[in-house]
Structure 1
Amino acid sequence: MKSWCALAVLSLAYLCHGALSCPPLCKCYRRRAEVVCNEVPLTEYPSEGLWQNTTLVTLQFTNITSISEQQLSATPLLQGLHLYSNHLQNLSAHLLRGVPHLDTLDLTGNQLSVLPADVFDHAPLRNLVLKNNAIEKADAEWLPDNSSITWLDISGNSLTKVPAALLQKLPHLENLDLANNRLDQISANSLDLLNKLERLNLRNNKLDTLDASVFQSSRNLTYLFLSRNNLNKLPKNLFQELSQLKLLCLDENQLSHIPAGLLDPLSSLEEEGLDLTSNPWLCDRKVRYLWGWLQKNKKKVFLPESIVCARPQSLEGRSLMSLTERELNLQS
């Protein structure tokens, strides 16, 4: 049997390395080096009780309002930090200087509005989520040049534009989510350096048109979400370079026509990969291209019978695909 003194020394050694400590109100999982604080009345980031070898921290539904570089530096091996649905209002500048291994930072559902310069510098972030905050302005100074981020989610904020200078710092970006903002335009060359981009979500914004060249460098784009905007016209060559596109959502816009040839480059659309529903289609001679394309590509269209005429009154509510050439006055 080990002596009391030997046990005391062993216990002290464990405590010195933080192996047995855990912040009050939190749960710690030693094997995974993980700390979880869920729905507890914390008002400050629990840096003093964290193991130094912690690699994953999840704090959700707490009363924390701010987080600083000094607090994070207590866990220099941190790789993932998930801060869902707290009351964060402020982040300190150079926030990540003490966590040089941080890969994932999720700040979903807080009250962030203005972020300081260099806030996401110093760590090799690959996943950054700022979803459902109160951010009105995105700033290129948030990030270092040649950022390693591959997944950026700024959806659910109040952005009216995204500066090209910010996107130009993201050459490795694969997923960009800007849904549920107030964007009224996407600058013509803002996506030019995002040649690895695979998924772009612009759903539920205020876009009424798109520049013809905006996707010219997006040859790897696979999923494009443009639903619930105010799009009323699209340039003929908008999708010219999108031969890898599998899914395109254009539903719930203000499209009455699309130009001839617009959909021809989309040879990789998967089954039901195109959604054109809930647009006010004008079923006249100008709809000839769309009508013919639908006849040939029915399997690629989501609910093709739900693409219906809004005008003229005589055809209102009729499925576009069900119409004859005579009804569309297409006979030469």
Structure 2
Amino acid sequence: MNALFALLCLAYFCHGALSCPALCKCYTRRAEVVCNEVPLTEFPSEGLLRNTTMLTIQLTNITSISERHLDVTPLLQELHMFSNHLQHLPPNLLRGVPHLHTLDLTGNKLAELPANVFSHAPLRSLVLKDNLIEKVDAEWLPDNSTLTWLDLSGNLIRKVPSVLLQKLPQLESLDLSNNRLEMISANSLDKLTKLERLNLQDNKLETLDASVLESSRNLTYLFLSRNKLNKIPPKLFQELTELRVLSLDDNQLSHIPPGSLDQLSSLDEDGLDLTSNPWQCDGKVEYLWRWLQKNKKKLFLPQTIICASPPSLLGRLVMSLTASELNLQS
């Protein structure tokens, strides 16, 4: 029995161990390699098994990756390279990994990316979170991309070209939070008919075009927190009958237009966040006031929805106001 085990070790387990790159750990049975040692300064091509399907390189001092590096793992399906020091990516990076469906480049130092950098692989998930990207280029991706998840959060992006988003008919989740977006073009989301999750929080949006969400009928999560929104177009949410969560907190909203929340019957309990807005409690707040009375359970922290003006009602809960205080006819 011992002799048989030794033979198996030599033929399989030991071979996997001997083939593992320095400063990495290899899990032969599931074809996975993990490298998370700070002293690692170069992509660990030497020693990688050709049948590797998952490669994680994190918290290292690697500054570059090339098409040649990835050629040694033609069966790669997932590549996770977060919190390294990548500064540049070459064109056609993924040409040698035709099975790659997940690419995570979170927390690097990427600023400008070349055309075709994410072509040649059937990517479903692309994460570029927490880099230094200022400009988004439609040429990064092929036409009719297979992406279902795109995360560009935590960058320096001011505008996302409509032509890029029009290449993403399969997209289900789009995260553009924590950037410097000042506007979203009216037709930019028209092709994203499968979109379920849209995160635009922590930007500089002052308003949204009334038609921008017309084609987003499958949207279930919409995050608009911590922008500079000072008004909501009356029909902005008209098609969002599947919406479960809507965050509008920490904006500059003083009123909600009549009828604008009427289609949101699918909101979860605590699914609507309106906190930290300067609500003006005059006649124009009537619609919000009546909606709050009927939908209290759908509100997140309703006790924080308070009047910022007029001075006589400063600090009052909007829900607690009376018709006479709002000068409304009964």
TM-score, L = length of structure 1: 0.95
1:154 aligns with 152
Is 1:88 equivalent to 2:86 in the alignment? yes
Contact 1:138 1:162 in 2 (8 A): yes
Aligned CA distance change for structure 1 residues 52 and 19 (closer, same or farther; 3 Å): farther
Q: CA deviation at 1:328?
A: 1.2
Decide which of 261, 264, 282 is 2:262's aligned counterpart: 264
Q: CA deviation at 1:2?
A: 11
1:110 aligns with 108
1:238 aligns with 236
Decide which of 30, 39, 42 is 1:32's aligned counterpart: 30
Q: Following the alignment from structure 1 to structure 2, what is the Cα–Cα distance between the partners of residues 173 and 160?
A: 21
1:280 aligns with 278
Contact 1:107 1:130 in 2 (8 A): yes
Q: CA deviation at 1:330?
A: 1.2
Q: In structure 2, the residue corresponding to 1:31 is in which secondary structure? A: helix
> Which one-letter code corresponds to 1:106 in the other structure?
D
> Which one-letter code corresponds to 1:321 in the other structure?
M
Q: In structure 2, the residue corresponding to 1:48 is in which secondary structure? A: coil
Q: In structure 1, the residue corresponding to 2:284 is in which secondary structure? A: helix
Q: Following the alignment from structure 1 to structure 2, what is the Cα–Cα distance between the partners of residues 139 and 297?
A: 42
Q: In structure 1, the residue corresponding to 2:55 is in which secondary structure? A: strand
> Which one-letter code corresponds to 2:175 in the other structure?
D
Q: CA deviation at 1:267?
A: 1.1
Contact 2:204 2:227 in 1 (8 A): yes
2:321 aligns with 323
Decide which of 31, 52, 55 is 1:54's aligned counterpart: 52
Q: Following the alignment from structure 1 to structure 2, what is the Cα–Cα distance between the partners of residues 40 and 309?
A: 52
Q: Following the alignment from structure 1 to structure 2, what is the Cα–Cα distance between the partners of residues 182 and 106?
A: 22
> Which one-letter code corresponds to 2:145 in the other structure?
S
Q: Following the alignment from structure 2 to structure 1, what is the Cα–Cα distance between the partners of residues 18 and 327?
A: 80
Q: In structure 2, the residue corresponding to 1:39 is in which secondary structure? A: coil
Q: CA deviation at 1:331?
A: 2.3
Structure 1 moving runs of 4+ over 6 Å: none
Contact 2:17 2:26 in 1 (8 A): no
Aligned CA distance change for structure 1 residues 312 and 65 (closer, same or farther; 3 Å): same
Decide which of 94, 97, 113 is 2:95's aligned counterpart: 97
Is 1:227 equivalent to 2:242 in the alignment? no
Q: Following the alignment from structure 2 to structure 1, what is the Cα–Cα distance between the partners of residues 248 and 172?
A: 21
Stretches of structure 2 lacking an aligned partner (at least 5 in a row)? none
Q: CA deviation at 1:18?
A: 6.2
1:125 aligns with 123
Contact 2:16 2:28 in 1 (8 A): no
Measured against aligned partners, the alpha-carbon deviations of 1:27-84 in whole angstroms (never above 9, x if no partner) come to 1111111110113311111011111100001110000111000101110000000001
Contact 1:18 1:52 in 2 (8 A): no
Contact 1:14 1:20 in 2 (8 A): no
Measured against aligned partners, the alpha-carbon deviations of 1:64-112 in whole angstroms (never above 9, x if no partner) come to 1110001011100000000010000011110000000001000000000
Q: CA deviation at 1:19?
A: 6.9
How many residues are aligned here? 327
Q: CA deviation at 1:20?
A: 3.7
Q: CA deviation at 1:316?
A: 0.7
> Which one-letter code corresponds to 1:132 in the other structure?
D
Measured against aligned partners, the alpha-carbon deviations of 1:93-145 in whole angstroms (never above 9, x if no partner) come to 10000000001000000000000100000000000000000000000000000
Q: In structure 2, the residue corresponding to 1:165 is in which secondary structure? A: helix
Is 1:74 equivalent to 2:72 in the alignment? yes
Q: Following the alignment from structure 2 to structure 1, what is the Cα–Cα distance between the partners of residues 37 and 300?
A: 41
Q: Following the alignment from structure 1 to structure 2, what is the Cα–Cα distance between the partners of residues 303 and 234?
A: 21
RMSD (CA atoms): 1.9
1:192 aligns with 190
> Which one-letter code corresponds to 1:258 in the other structure?
I
Contact 1:206 1:230 in 2 (8 A): yes
Q: Following the alignment from structure 2 to structure 1, what is the Cα–Cα distance between the partners of residues 49 and 16?
A: 5
2:41 aligns with 43
TM-score, L = length of structure 2: 0.96
Contact 1:22 1:49 in 2 (8 A): yes
Measured against aligned partners, the alpha-carbon deviations of 1:201-230 in whole angstroms (never above 9, x if no partner) come to 000000000000000000000000000000
Stretches of structure 1 lacking an aligned partner (at least 5 in a row)? none
Contact 2:23 2:37 in 1 (8 A): no
Q: In structure 1, the residue corresponding to 2:30 is in which secondary structure? A: coil
1:166 aligns with 164
